[in-house]
Structure 1
Amino acid sequence: MTIASSVTVNESQGITFLDIDNPFSSGRISLYGGHVLSFTPKHDNIERLWLSPHAFLNGERPIRGGIPVCWPWFSDDHGKEKGELPSHGFLRTQVWQLKSSEDIEDGTRIVLTPSFTRGDGFEFDCKVSLTVVFGERLSVSLKTENTGVVPFTYNQALHSYFAVPDINKASLEGVTGQYKDKLQHWAVLDTPSPYTFTGETDRIHLEPINAITLNSENRPVTEVQSQGHDSIVIWNPWRGAATMSDMDAFGYTHMLCVETACTKGVTIEPGKSHTMTQTVSGLPN
């Protein structure tokens, strides 16, 4: 297979990384987890994604930061007792295959597929692919195709960690409607306005919001666009980060997860497919 001229393949600690550098942006993908780790548009040279300095980049456990792929369930919504199956599914802890890479007019397109899609908790025939385009924008599309003879239902998320200089001075625009609050026994509450952060946050917004703007003080804004989803998840562990072995105690001050997700169940009939896409744009102030 021919590798695009804008892509360099590197190996480190048993993981294969794809480093992308084209006229529009630079970035990095880990084949472990099919995991986008970095996206820096060249018009301002500001990294949009956050990767924990203590992330495990050796295949021992899921990578903390970037854009983890959650599939075929979100969180521990797999129908069994918590801990019986891996949180967020089993795609983010396997080695993905590079199916193609090409230089296109507006950037670099990369297609990855997981090693397997059947596992404990999901015994259906399907194909999954991740298409990532690095250009002035970062586009990540997760496609699931039913190749079997019976319909199946699943959930998913692009669990994106965005970089912010200071979470205390960050805010979101464009988020409306109601959300379920995990920290308040799944109470259904109205979205706050202004949408700022003063403590641990773990919310599933129940409307398929198409565009969200992330504002950070003294920094160009980041716009997150979503398609093919039914929910938006907003998460920051706050001081709970101190209990995580792959985050430092104050790592929470530099990140915010804005996740394009399907949490209500996507059903695909035989021969049909579903695609969920998140697009990240760096906009001027």
Structure 2
Amino acid sequence: MQSTYFHTEIKNGIEYLIIENEVATCRISLFGGHVLSFIPKRDNRDRLWVSPLAFLNGERPIRGGVPVCWPWFSDDHGQEKGELPAHGFLRTQHWAVKQTDSTETLSKVVLIPGTTKGKGFEFDASVELIVEVGESLTMTLVTENTGDVPFSFNCALHTYFDVENIKDVELKGLYGEYKDKLSDWEILNTPTAYIIEGEVDRIHLEAIPSVVIERDQSDYIAIESSQHDSLVVWNPWQGAATMSDMDAFSYKQMVCVETAITQGKQLLPGEKCAMRQKVS
């Protein structure tokens, strides 16, 4: 694909879609339907983080950017851990470009996975990832029940945000209760001053509409979410050293704030859910 605003390239067996207009650039791996980079030209600073040790050969999910988790989140698939792939099976599929459209300041692409059926989910469904690149990055994950029976699913836009130093970061706008994976899923209250000082793996159980990541005193990332039921906050801290696709100190440059459905969303035949995350 070659046009004014869109072009593709292939590297190490992965096809990438590059979007560039007058206000921003964006890079998407069609392996996984995976947004890897969003750089507004007003400051030329990437909002997203990709691990320098990420596998970029199509053999494993990519660490960083915005992995698409569907039709379950983490290992919440009703079977023993390891029986099915964590976060579902869409992030290891090749996605196709269904539609593109662009003006000078807003470019849109619609991506679709090769299949939405796999072990653990045999229902009739369609999925689209709509990516809009302008002054902000908007990603909409649309799930439709195309069958004759209801089904339930979970999903997430598992976004890794780029920060210079995690010790300078404060999250603002989170509230309510969260489930703490590190404390055997104990239900705890959101801290008033939300800073990251160690490993964090939390599912905030509110449809919080907006969160701000203060990267330092003069810089921030704004996140707006809709049609979700949770926000997930994750940083592996020194646990990064045990991961083959992260180096021991890369936890200092990233934090995940994930727009998610983790409490189960039921769709009746013909119904749709359009979960959206906007990053500015």
Q: What's the TM-score bracket when you normalise by the shorter of the two chains? A: over 0.9
Q: Which residue of 1 aligns with 2:264?
A: 265
Q: Which residue of 2 aligns with 1:167?
A: 166
Q: Which residue of 2 aligns with 1:59?
A: 58
What letter matches 1:199 in structure 2? G
The DSSP-based 3-state class of the residue aligned with 1:92 is: helix
Task: Single out whichever of 70-79 and 217-226 deviates more from structure 2.
Answer: 217-226
Distance 2:104 2:23 in 1: 10
What letter matches 1:258 in structure 2? V
Q: Which residue of 2 aligns with 1:107?
A: 106
| Correspondence list, 1:236-247, <5 A | 236-247=235-246
| Correspondence list, 1:244-255, <5 A | 244-255=243-254
Distance 1:32 1:5 in 2: 23
Is 1:118 equivalent to 2:117 in the alignment? yes
Aligned 8 A contact 2:5 2:102 in 1: yes
Q: Which residue of 2 aligns with 1:215?
A: 214
Q: Which residue of 2 aligns with 1:152?
A: 151
Residues 4 and 101 of structure 1: is their aligned pair in 2 closer, same or farther, counting only changes over 3 Å? Answer: farther
**How much is the aligned-residue C-alpha RMSD, in angstroms?**
1.0
1:165-223, Cα deviation, whole Å (9 max, x unpaired): 00011010000011000000111001011100110000000000000000012552100
What letter matches 2:192 in structure 1? S
The DSSP-based 3-state class of the residue aligned with 1:199 is: coil
What letter matches 1:125 in structure 2? D
Stretches (4+) displaced over 6 A:
none
Q: Which residue of 2 aligns with 1:90?
A: 89
Distance 1:274 1:218 in 2: 37
Q: Which residue of 1 aligns with 2:126?
A: 127
In the alignment, structure 2 segments of 5+ residues that lack a partner are none
Distance 1:218 1:3 in 2: 40
How far residue 106 of structure 1 moved from its aligned partner, in angstroms, is 3.5
Aligned 8 A contact 1:228 1:276 in 2: yes
Provide the TM-score with structure 1 as the length reference: 0.97
Is 1:25 equivalent to 2:24 in the alignment? yes
What letter matches 1:21 in structure 2? E
In the alignment, structure 1 segments of 5+ residues that lack a partner are none
Is 1:192 equivalent to 2:187 in the alignment? no
The DSSP-based 3-state class of the residue aligned with 1:208 is: coil
Aligned length: 280
Aligned 8 A contact 1:140 1:279 in 2: yes
How far residue 272 of structure 1 moved from its aligned partner, in angstroms, is 1.1
Aligned 8 A contact 2:21 2:105 in 1: no
What letter matches 2:155 in structure 1? Q
The DSSP-based 3-state class of the residue aligned with 1:225 is: strand
Distance 2:218 2:134 in 1: 20
